[in-house]
Structure 1
Amino acid sequence: MKYYILLIGALLGCMSCGESRNQSNKLDAAAELMFDHPEQALSILKSLDVDEISSRSGKARFALLYTQALDKNQIELQSDSLIHLAVDYYNRKGSEQEKALAHYYYGCVYANLHDTDVAMKSLVAAEAFAVNTNDSYLQGLIHSRIGNLYSDEYLQEDALLRFERARACFHQAGAARNEAISLNNKAYIYYLTGDFAAAKESWQEAKKLYLTLGDRNAAYAIDGNLISIRLEEGNPVDSIKNSFRKICFDYYGEPHPPVAAGTWLAIYQKAGELDSARLCGQTILANRHEFTDHQIAGCYALLTRIESDCGRFEQALRYSRLYQHMADSLNQVTQQTALQEVEQKYNNRLLKASLESFRLKHQVQMAGMIFILIILALIVVLVGYAWTRRYKKVREERALLKQELDNLHQVYDDLSNRFLHVRQMLDCSNERESKVSKAIEERLSGLHQLVEKLPAIKPANFVREFKRYMAVDTNSQYALYDLQYIVNQKYFGIIDYLKARYPDLNKHDLDLCALMCFGFSHAGICYLYDYSTLGSFYNKRSRLRRKLHLSQEEKIEDFISRQIAELRKNEE
């Protein structure tokens, strides 16, 4: 029985996994169709049952895609219950792209609900996330939507700035239609503010894009707007007629298509051709389904003026009543929203201040992050610099240690040879000569130990070890003083000769002369008498040469050798 239950559970699990994969595949298909075929994407999403989507990530993705599909199909969503799921989930676990999309459509929903404050804050949050992505198209959508909100609040300068940013983003993304729409929005604002030159420039750019896309209706609407500008500027009416007649032939193959009746009405009324203007007005009324209520009301007002100018007062009165009836209907709608518009205008300054505060907070956060990154970078650079210096110092110490080791080996070999030579010359039965032999042997033994230990000790400890080696005990140190006595005995009284002939010589000078008689090298003498450097030794030699009155070319060793030779000859 237990096995049957496990088998049934496994089958149900497999069925659940299969359903989950099927739902995920449908969401993927809807996402692929979203831009080119949004109606098909919406159809796929409507076929899904959101209650059957088990994971929170799947529900959030469905909410975002469904809201996006409604927006692409120009269906206004009047509730935030769906998109709120996406915002709540992606704020915690989503990528920058997903966060930006969720906040953008959240702002779109509240823009449809005429809650400008919430819509603006959500769109600004979407902009902050979108900056960290490479999605120029999404950035263009955000700028465009913010521009619409500014325009509704009569903040025309801010709206122009946003529409221009949207145009640049759409151009970078290669979205020509959206770029044309942004140019069209800019042109309307220029037109409303009386900047006709800028309006014409933007409309001309938008027209080129629409013609490239093959959208002749949108291009014709722009030509109508350009004609309206020419009427506002007071250009010759005949020239305007000819231009507009050519435009109508180009687009519709006839000079007076019904869709152009409104523009012709304005042209004829401006030219004073009242009969023609009347026919255009009647054409508008006969095709009123193609015009807005405001256009119909404007038509009634113009017909009232035309009939009154022609003396047809009864007909003028009828049009006047129709105009009043439609105006009352439009005013009723206007009155219903008047309080809301006043409140929006009143709160406009607070809204802008809130937006600037949000931007400032975001900039402060970004500045803080950049400052922290700079500090971390400086720390890394300083640590790297310190490590490099330490590494360089260690390399230098190792090089010096190797050089010192080579020198010690060489000195040790030289001293060993000299010691054997001196030992052969000394008489160990003589107490003074025996002390000299032991002192030199102690020096040699200590140097041997240092040479053996040097490869195993750290460079920083070498100086300490060397100083310990140089600290000769007192008895040995005085024993070395007997060198002069030994040399004087072995080399025919050379020390007495130097003392008598060169009274300026001191003890150290005579010690040097004694060691030179034994044939010790310069480096060996330095180690035996703790001279810090060879340079110090050469300075002592230079002073010794001056005291002996020798020229720069003559060596002290050669001078001593000559003196010993003369003393030997005299003794013989």
Structure 2
Amino acid sequence: MANRLKLILNLLLLFCLVACSRNTNISPLLKEAEGYMNERPDSALLLLDSITHREDMSKEQNALWCLLYTQAQDKNRIEHTSDSLIQIAVKYYEKTNLKNRKMQAYYYCGRVFQDLDDVLQTQTYYLKAYEVGKDLKEYSLLGRLCANLGTLYTFQGLYRPALDVQKEAADYFMQAEDSISLSMTYRNIARINVQENQLDSAITYYSKALSCSFASHKFYIFNELADVYGRVGDYNNGLSYAWKAYSQIKTADDSCLVSLTLGDLYLKSGKMDSAYYYLSFCQKSTNTYTLRDTYYSLSQLEKSRGNLNAYAIFQEQYDTFRDSIDRQTYMETVARLQSIYDYQLIEKKKEYYRQEANRKTNYLYGLFGGGALFLLVTVCIVFYLFKEKKKKEEQLNQSLRRQEQKYRESLQYLAERNAAIAELGQKTEMADDLKIQLDMVQGVINEKMLERASSPIAGIDRGKIFFASDLYQGLHTKWEILDNERWPEVVKWIDHVLYLNFTYKIKMMYPGISEMDLQICCLTKLGISVTRMAALLLRTSQAISLKRKRLYVKLTQKQGTAQDFDEYILSL
């Protein structure tokens, strides 16, 4: 009593919250309704009905409400008349990774189509639910899913797959510890075995069903087990279970059903009077199938007695009910075939539209891909032409710079060369001889001011002067490093005495050359060894060799070795 009062108060409180504000967060209400679903599905349905203004819900809340509402209707045994609500949940959860919700949506969509007598749609959604949830631990739902799928297969006469999924349902119910559902599943397995004429297996599963069934569910199991024992010829056990079923009769139809079983057992065991008594009582039944079997048994009883008139009457009544059932079965078969035809027609249309959509999508993808390819090719061509133009411009600029350098070699630096020669003449120990030679050089220079001198000045053996100088001795052995004070002296010797404007030539070919790289070029030109060069520049021999290789690439735009660099520098 206290629990019921608490439930009523909670519901009243929730209704007040819903009525007070349209913007109330309804997620707690949905959670509360789901909590009531298994124990009090009627309360869950009432609470869901109290949630109004669904337009204020989020898509997630609306999908959950549709799923729970369909579930509550199903648990309250309210027949579904439309799939509109559950399809909202299906479409939403198909786009999420919530496998448990997706499985529930598929399952209850199957239940809706089962009420709508759409066998193929029912089977499709049951299989989808099984595929999504087979790895989940939702044992109770998986059990109901397999049980319903087994019933569906049985309805279609597919007894072997029906038997397999019913056994799988039994395993799930055992893991869920649901004895009532397990009992019903064992009973369904037994019925399938009866259809397959596997009567020993049917008796085994009926016995298993009895072992885990409650008293209120045993009536039909007792009666069906009695009928199976009658089929195998064990009339004593059959009568025993038939009387057990008789002791649990609650309705007139139940009484007629058990009486039919008793009458059939007495007829098979040769007790005609008892058989006639119970079979005559069965004529009060309102069930068409019970009446059909009753008149068939009565006709066989009268035939065995030799009462041909009574036999003909009962046989005629049996034929009437049989034809009625056959017509009903035929109509159901036609309806089922029509449903299959409609389903196949819809699937064909879906496939057509799906293929048409794929074709258009592929066309758009092809169009987009072709446009992208054309754009890419165009960009590549433009980029190539741009690079070629820049390359030609660079070559032209380099040619102009070289021409300018030649001009500057002829005019601009002539005075510096004269001054350097005079200064070097004062520092040499052979001053007198050098002065005479310098005068001769000055005369030649004055006569050929505008000519380019690309080799050492004619008439003077400057090599001997250089090798005798302190500078060469310093580079060769004495100096520890080539510092900033000594480096300009080296440049003057090279550019103005030994190799006219050598450094300027290098800078024109490689404008961005660093000072150290220029030093390497000069020392190489002067014949300084790599080891001595490394000591003067405070580098390793390997570093000097690597720089020589890179300088060759920068100066010639070709790949080569350090030796190629040396040969190139000496050839300048």
Normalised by the size of structure 1, how large is the TM-score? 0.52
* Distance across 2 between alignment mates of 1:252 and 1:123: 36
Match of 2:109 among 75, 96, 106: 106
Matched, 1:170 2:173: yes
Answer yes or no: is the 8 Å Cα contact 2:90–2:102 preserved in 1: yes
Q: How many residues align?
A: 369
Number of the residue aligned with 1:247? 244
Number of the residue aligned with 2:427? none
Structure 1 counterpart of 2:57, which letter?
Answer: S
* Distance across 2 between alignment mates of 1:309 and 1:345: 46
Quote the offset at 1:51 in angstroms: 4.6
Number of the residue aligned with 2:64? 61
Q: After superposition, what is the alpha-carbon deviation per residue over 1:507-540, rounded to whole angstroms, capped at 9, x for unaligned?
A: xxxxxxxxxxxxxxxxxxxxxxx9xxxxxxxxxx
Identity among equivalent positions (%) equals 24
Change (3 A) 1:278 1:176: same
* Distance across 2 between alignment mates of 1:169 and 1:116: 24
Matched, 1:301 2:296: yes
Number of the residue aligned with 2:217? 218
Alignment map for 1:425-444 (pairs within 5 Å): none
Change (3 A) 1:124 1:227: same
Structure 1 counterpart of 2:289, which letter?
Answer: H
Match of 2:321 among 326, 351, 354: 326
Q: After superposition, what is the alpha-carbon deviation per residue over 1:210-269, rounded to whole angstroms, capped at 9, x for unaligned?
A: 0xxxx224224223322222222223x34543x33663587579xxx9352122111011
Change (3 A) 1:265 1:42: farther
SS of residue in 2 equivalent to 1:134: coil
Answer yes or no: is the 8 Å Cα contact 2:33–2:47 preserved in 1: yes
Matched, 1:279 2:277: yes
Change (3 A) 1:71 1:230: same
Number of the residue aligned with 2:229? 230
Alignment map for 1:49-448 (pairs within 5 Å): 50-52=52-54, 54-57=56-59, 58-93=61-96, 95-131=98-134, 133-210=136-213, 215-235=214-234, 237-238=235-236, 240-241=238-239, 243-244=240-241, 247=244, 258=255, 260-286=258-284, 288-289=285-286, 292-313=287-308, 315-341=310-336
Answer yes or no: is the 8 Å Cα contact 2:142–2:169 preserved in 1: yes
* Distance across 2 between alignment mates of 1:297 and 1:327: 6
Return 5+ residue gaps in structure 1 as ranges: 1-13, 355-440, 444-529, 531-572
Number of the residue aligned with 1:43? 46
Change (3 A) 1:88 1:131: same
Q: After superposition, what is the alpha-carbon deviation per residue over 1:294-318, rounded to whole angstroms, capped at 9, x for unaligned?
A: 0122112212332344355554454
* Distance across 2 between alignment mates of 1:239 and 1:52: 60
* Distance across 2 between alignment mates of 1:200 and 1:442: 114
* Distance across 2 between alignment mates of 1:116 and 1:83: 17
Q: After superposition, what is the alpha-carbon deviation per residue over 1:538-571, rounded to whole angstroms, capped at 9, x for unaligned?
A: xxxxxxxxxxxxxxxxxxxxxxxxxxxxxxxxxx
Quote the offset at 1:71 in angstroms: 1.6
- Structural RMSD (CA): 4.8
Structure 2 counterpart of 1:331, which letter?
Answer: D
Change (3 A) 1:282 1:27: farther
* Distance across 2 between alignment mates of 1:27 and 1:150: 35
Change (3 A) 1:313 1:73: farther
Structure 2 counterpart of 1:337, which letter?
Answer: E
Quote the offset at 1:193 in angstroms: 0.8
Q: After superposition, what is the alpha-carbon deviation per residue over 1:449-494, rounded to whole angstroms, capped at 9, x for unaligned?
A: xxxxxxxxxxxxxxxxxxxxxxxxxxxxxxxxxxxxxxxxxxxxxx
* Distance across 2 between alignment mates of 1:113 and 1:103: 15
SS of residue in 2 equivalent to 1:92: coil
SS of residue in 2 equivalent to 1:21: coil
Alignment map for 1:480-495 (pairs within 5 Å): none
Normalised by the size of structure 2, how large is the TM-score? 0.52
